[in-house]
Amino acid sequence: MKHLWIKGSTKKDKGEAPSPFPLPIGERIKERGRIKIYKHGIWFILMPILLLSLFSQIAIAQDEAAMPQVKRPYKLPPNLLQYFKGKYVHIDDFLTSNVQETPNGPLGNLGLRGNIKPTAEIQGETREERARAIAMAFIREEAALFDISNIEEIRERKIKTDMGYGGEYTHLYYDRYIGGLLFGYDIHITIGPDETITHVGASLVPTPPELYQAVTKETISKEQVIKIVERVFGAPKRATVKVLKVAKFATWRPPYVIWTAHASVFIDSVYASAADCAFTINAFTGDILSRIDARRYLTYDPNRKSLCD
């Protein structure tokens, strides 16, 4: 057994030799009213943390290994309905799609009905847990079609249930985040009473490599966005401007990162002379990309000049 020689501080002060009695490493020794915890005590504390981190990395690696790799250029199956029928037994002859093939991923909307059962083993104590597991299993199995290389980008936005033909239906809504920013990409999956997927709806957009580069770059701040919008309405001075709903998003088209904001504008605090202006702003340069008037007048006058102009 490995031993540690302990020098008594009181003996050191008196110039005495160190104690000849070895003590095992890890034993707690009380000296001057303090407890000294030696090396194995520290490892005892750190070991669970290190094991948890290791298991998490293994789980993530296994999850990523189970997903198909996204290929470039992206290719759609020649016939989407036949593609789904070839993978799943119970598919209705109902598929709506305007999805286009682009080099960087699919572009368009997809709708599918049937009684779809993913091949993965589903676990969960409650119906809601199983519904979540079923939906995510389907998304993983169709990751190549949906052009998803990192499942961590897919986040649940909402889950709700309602009663329909035959029992309870669970609706799950998913968003996609690129670099932590909400991306214009949506998946809606409905789980039927028999716990099969009865409906899939997806709005798909490409993910060019420039997008992933852009989300890592520094952008203008929220405060700068508010000032940009306020400057638009600098005249007349009697205008009251309230800038609301300022948010940053990722998009599949240049500049790939944008700010959006809504400005409520009042002239002399009169609602009839008001506007609700929706702004889209380049997140890097601060340039205004679009400005839309969503005004609602008590008496609408089509000839009235917009305050958003």
- How do residues 152-183 score in pLDDT, each as one tens digit? 999 999 999 999 888 999 999 999 999 999 99
Task: Give 244-287 pLDDT, tens digit per residue.
Answer: 899 999 999 999 999 999 988 776 655 445 567 899 999 999 99
Task: Give 128-149 pLDDT, tens digit per residue.
Answer: 999 999 999 999 999 999 999 9
Q: CA-CA-CA-CA torsion for 11, 12, 17, 22, nearest 10 degrees?
A: 80
Q: Are 54 and 60 in contact (CB under 8 A)?
A: no
Residue for token pair 């985040």: 177
- Domain boundaries defined on the chain: 3-66, 80-207, 222-293
With 0-12 / 13-18 / 19 or more C-beta atoms within 10 angstroms meaning exposed / middle / buried, residue 270 is: exposed
pLDDT at 264: 83
Q: Are 206 and 149 in contact (CB under 8 A)?
A: no
- 222-293, what's its fold? Nuclear Transport Factor 2; Chain: A, (3.10.450)
Nearest Cα to Cα of residue 173 among 199, 208, 145, 152: 199
Count the alpha carbons within 13 Å of 292 in the hemisphere toward its beta carbon.
8
Position 88 pLDDT exceeds 50: yes
Gap between the Cα atoms of 21 and 11, Å rounded: 14
Q: Which residues pair with 284 in a beta bridge?
A: none
Confidence of residue 94 (pLDDT cuts 50, 70, 90): confident
Confidence of residue 89 (pLDDT cuts 50, 70, 90): confident
Q: Chain-wide mean pLDDT for the chain?
A: 80
